[in-house]
Amino acid sequence: MNFLTANNSSIAYQSLPHPLCEERKITIDIKRLDLLHPTVNGNKWYKLKYNLERTIAADHRTLITFGGAWSNHIYATAAAGNLAGVKTIGVIRGEEPKELSVTLQFAKEQGMELCFVSRLDYEERNTEEFKAWLHDRFGAFHIVPEGGSNYYGVNGCMEILSETDFKTYTHVACACGTGATLAGMLIGAKSNLQFIGFSALKGGDFLQDEVIKHIEYFLMDRELAEEYRPQFSIDSEHHFGGYGKWNEELIAFIRHIESHYQIPLDQVYTGKALFGLLNQLQNRTIPEGSKVLFVHSGGLQGRLGCDALC
């Protein structure tokens, strides 16, 4: 597959014949974006697509982005840059460790230059002063925020759902970190689909407003962005302690889904989201007879950071 082109008709769908689905007369299909590409998959594929095109169009062909030691975004950006012939620089949160994580080792092997900064400095990454420091050190570049959640990322996520999806399903569910993937799918939707975002972060109710901010920035119209608010909800009850945290219940659930349905999940995003979706079925939050599409947003490399799933 050419990295900069996608064919939604070739993406795999997988039914989830869970007992709760039969009990509630609800269909759940999984859109397997995790199978898009061996190293650049899931929502990262879409978030990076137009960011890479923007970088390739520039004379410098250099992309700078941000993340932690186990970041899915750093992993995917390094691989995508290598495929597209783009120089990538990863600004990594925290001091350089004696031994790199598997994620950072992979990024380095893909040609990404790693720039470690203190956690205090990392908090300043969006300031003009920090950007000026980056420019002095690395020269001209295209900057992509943590998670790939900018105008170009939202633009790419508009392409996740297909015409068939619009006609087939009543609900779309996905994991949420920044809200950009959900915002892109909302803008791209051509029917009255209802969207459910499952926050991977503790206190994720703020994502309601973040999604609207992404839409407003893309459409340049606050009033129009607000019209999307009734079309989505954020479930903030299934974070399992917060971002990057999990417990034995979640790990057992992930193992069960993989062994019974051959659907691999990660413990940071998709595992929590599917757990939350099935819990909504059990609590009768989703109406009987609904047809739900669960968007598998990838991130399976993150399993390497969990001994229980390795």
CA distances from 142 to 131, 148, 280 (A): 11, 12, 41
Are 130 and 244 within one domain?
no
Helix (H), strand (E) counts: the chain: 13, 10
Name the residue range of residue 51's domain. Answer: 43-148
Other Cβ atoms closer than 10 A to 253: 19
> Which candidate, 143, 83, 54, 74, places its Cα nearest to that of 114?
74
The torsion angles phi and psi of 164, rounded to 5 degrees, stand at: -65, -40
Please check whether residue 1 lies inside any domain of the structure.
no
Return the pLDDT at 136. 97
**CATH of residue 252:** 3.40.50.1100
Are 83 and 175 within one domain?
no
Return the pLDDT at 259. 96
Return the pLDDT at 91. 98
**How would you classify the pairing of strands 291-296 and 171-176?**
parallel
User: Six-digit token pair at 186?
Assistant: 């909302």
Are 290 and 215 within one domain?
yes
CA distances from 207 to 39, 157, 179, 182 (A): 28, 17, 6, 10
- Say how many domains are in the chain: 2
Q: Which SS3 state, helix, strand or coil, does residue 53 take?
A: helix
In order along its 310 residues, the chain shows pLDDT tens digits of: 455 555 555 789 999 999 999 999 999 999 999 999 999 999 999 999 999 999 999 989 999 999 999 999 999 999 999 999 999 999 999 999 999 999 999 999 999 999 999 999 999 999 999 999 999 999 999 999 999 999 999 999 999 999 999 999 999 999 999 999 999 999 999 888 999 999 999 999 999 999 999 999 999 999 999 999 999 999 999 999 989 889 999 999 999 999 999 999 999 999 999 999 999 999 999 999 999 999 999 999 989 888 778 6
Please check whether residue 166 lies inside any domain of the structure.
yes
Please check whether residue 3 lies inside any domain of the structure.
no
Q: Which SS3 state, helix, strand or coil, does residue 235 take?
A: strand
> What distance in Å separates the CA atoms of residue 258 and residue 70, rounded to the nearest whole number?
22
What ranges in the chain are assigned the alpha helix state H? 19-24, 42-57, 72-84, 102-109, 119-122, 128-138, 151-157, 163-168, 180-188, 207-219, 222-226, 248-261, 270-282
Are 113 and 182 within one domain?
no
Return the pLDDT at 1. 42
Are 210 and 288 within one domain?
yes
